[in-house]
Amino acid sequence: SQKIEQNSEALNIQEGKTATLTCNYTNYSPAYLQWYRQDPGRGPVFLLLIRENEKEKRKERLKVTFDTTLKQSLFHITASQPADSATYLCALDPWGSNYQLIWGAGTKLIIKP
Amino acid sequence: DAGVIQSPRHEVTEMGQEVTLRCKPISGHDYLFWYRQTMMRGLELLIYFNNNVPIDDSGMPEDRFSAKMPNASFSTLKIQPSEPRDSAVYFCASSAQGSLAGGPETQYFGPGTRLLVL
């Protein structure tokens, strides 16, 4: 079956350290993969998009990698801050270019001061 | 821009009642998506529109659910009759073909409607 997996358990990280979240998928060959942030009581907010021909994408303290061989994306937050605490969702379009996204369940990240 | 606007923000109703959720997408966006989010099933796509036309409604759980987009600035999701298992947060999202910011793949979500069916 088609599936996207993210760490279901909350990830606790000490402030200042790098947080790394994982998104694994099976049975897809997506053209791109996205990461979103969701705070309690709010809708997801887009962070980064990485395409299949890109190995790495950066935005300020955020970095995303995409390994189509391993069928895995890693999401890194460097110099983490308590304000980074949220649930992070990965999403991909399995059929390519029709914008129907399949979503992971999300990983809750807690940055401790 | 005010972003995607949804109303109501909270809805409590009794089983069997009709529920109508409303969405105003970001001006200029030509894709509109309706999602449902629950703890058990996560974020699920229900239906999406392109230029006001429904493209894929395969995610709509059953005939009790219907969605319309009469114009580019308004969409509704209706549940009739509602059941307790419909309790969830319903999100509307929009995106733009050819957006310079993030491309059509980037979706902008509204704040959601928290629906509780008793």
When pLDDT is averaged across residues A90-104 and rounded to a whole number, the result is 77
Q: Is a pLDDT exceeding 70 seen at residue A1?
A: no
| Chain A residue nearest residue B90, CA to CA | A43
Longest alpha-carbon distance in chain A: 42
pLDDT digits 0-9 by tens, A22-37: 999 988 778 788 999 9
Determine the Cα–Cα distance for residues A44 and B24; give it in Å rounded to an integer: 17
Which pLDDT tens digit goes with each residue over B5-21? 999 999 999 999 999 99
A102 — pLDDT class (breaks 50, 70, 90): confident
Q: How much is the pLDDT for A45?
A: 97
pLDDT higher than threshold 50 for residue B43: yes
Cα–Cα dist A54/A67, whole Å: 9
Q: B 49-108 residues with CB below 8 A of A? A: 55-56, 91, 93, 95, 102-108
How far apart CA B107 and CA B92 sit, in angstroms, is 10
Confidence at residue A9, expressed as pLDDT on a 0 to 100 scale = 86
- Considering only CB atoms, B102 lies closest to which of A41, A46, A102, namely A46
**Nearest CB partner across the interface for A89, out of B4, B43, B44:** B43
CB B69 within 8 A of CB B77: no
Supply φ then ψ for residue B67, to 5 degrees: -135, 145
Q: What pLDDT sits at residue B104?
A: 60
- Which residue in the set B55, B105, B111 is minimally distant from A93, CB to CB? B105
* B45 reaches A (C-beta below 8 A): yes
> A103 contacts in B (CB within 8 Å)?
42-44
To the nearest 10°, the Cα dihedral for B51, B54, B59, B64? 130
Asked which of A2-6, A46-50, A88-92 is least confident by mean pLDDT, the reply is A2-6
Contact (CB<8Å) B56/A93: no
C-alpha span between B93 and B33 (Å, rounded): 5
Asked if B45 and A44 come within 8 Å (Cβ–Cβ), the reply is no
